[in-house]
Chain A
Amino acid sequence: MKIAIASGKGGTGKTTVAVNLALALGNAQLLDCDVEEPNCNLFLGFDLEKQEDVTITVPEVDSEKCSLCGKCAEFCQYNAIAKLSSSIMLFPKLCHGCGGCVLVCPENAITEEKRSIGIIEKGTDEHFNIELLQGTLNIGEPMASPVIRQLQAHIDESTVAIVDSPPGTACPVIASVAEMDYCVLVTEPTPFGLNDLALMVDLVRQLDVQFGVVINRHGIGDARVEDYCRAERIPILMKIPNDREIAVLYSKGIPFVEQMPLWKENFRELYRYICKFISYQGGF
């Protein structure tokens, strides 16, 4: 079972939901796919161990062989290669690693080299009984999706995997949500929250992933998010109140299910609901 936790913008409590859900279930994997700013471990404090580098292949031109025909530059859709009067210039950060330039080069002057753009780390903890997998994109690297895909390759299909997606609706979110069994959208009951939620709903519908909504800090703002969900027939899975105890635990970096057993049960209930829902859909 693979569940993505997503939200249209940062700061809605997405990570809190992901961490608490994983902890409440136990025997689960938590994948931090917010690779530009992984923060699940702020709540867990696991010792992480590096598993591997994430590499992409980038072309390299052998200037001895190159006849400056310009075919590679003409071919590259991403403008990652340019032809100058006496050399070929490469822009590795624009390259998508499609390998097309290698194929079109008539002189066989282009080879592919590996370049590291990030790392995958893993941490476990006996007390918490979950496994954290974290991807980190190197600073300044523009492409998060390869890191996310490689991170997701570590999913153990026999357990539950909770995926903390990056905020927003761009490529990295699609990479982290697309292959999931279910997506939990976290929002706040405010006009901004509603606006971002509606964008996310459009996205997950396009990706054809089943989804429901968790309203965080319920009690602030108004009822428009709930009205919207009702009108769109979107299940509201949980409402986390704007509660002082939760806020204090949050500010101390303590996952609140650890201190509030009722909430541990609530998160388990949410999971049971999702399982039941998916089995109705014939998914399991």
Chain B
Amino acid sequence: MKICVTASNSGLEASVDPHFGRCKYFVLVDSKSMEFESIENGQGSASGGAGVQAAQQVIGKGIDVLITGSVGPNAFSLLSSEGIEMKIFSSGSVIEAIRAYEFGSLESIDSANSPGKSKM
């Protein structure tokens, strides 16, 4: 199972960044082997639509689970139509988030829980 955790830095010890669209890094972890890959969130200063871009990026990586703090409405539609499970974890490290997920103690994100930002 491939799990993506939004983080403020690379690696398993990095702390979780709760904002999906605007986080610095995505840490992608294979929950079986615990092999991981950190990719930078390429949205930079995208004027609106950061969530869409972030969602496309992680969808392209074929993830099954996303662990983050909040997801905006556009990203939510994309992630949910790809059947990606979304879980809330907003403070702690990437590895702690993965453990909490495997333990089954994370709450699901069932609808967009951040207002998003699409104003120009």
A interface residues with partner B (beta carbon < 8 Å)? 73, 78-80, 82-85, 87, 89, 91, 93-94, 142-143, 145, 171
Contacts and interface: CB of A to CB of B under 8 A. Distances in A.
Interface size class of B (residues with CB under 8 A): 10 to 19
Contacts of A79: 46, 48-50, 52-53, 56
B88 interface: no
A224 B87 CA distance: 53
Given A82-B55, A84-B82, A85-B82, A91 B120 contact: no
Contacts of B47: 78
B74 interface: yes
B91 interface: no
B77 interface: yes
Given A78-B48, A78-B49, A80-B49, A89 B118 contact: no
Q: What are the 3 closest A-B residue pairs judged by CB atoms, nearest first?
A: A79-B49, A79-B52, A94-B49
A82 B56 contact: yes
Given A79-B46, A87-B81, A89-B81, A94 B52 contact: yes
Contacts of B49: 78-80, 91, 94
Nearest to A142: B119
13 contacts: A78-B49, A79-B53, A84-B59, A84-B78, A89-B77, A89-B78, A89-B81, A91-B52, A91-B118, A94-B74, A94-B118, A142-B48, A171-B120
A82 B46 CA distance: 14
Contacts, number: 45
A265 to B, nearest CB: 42
Interface of B: 46-50, 52-53, 55-56, 59, 74, 77-78, 81-82, 118-120
B116 to A, nearest CB: 10
Contacts of B55: 82
A87 B81 CA distance: 9
A142 B78 contact: no
Nearest to B49: A79
B119 to A, nearest CB: 5
Contacts of B118: 91, 93-94, 142
Contacts of A93: 118
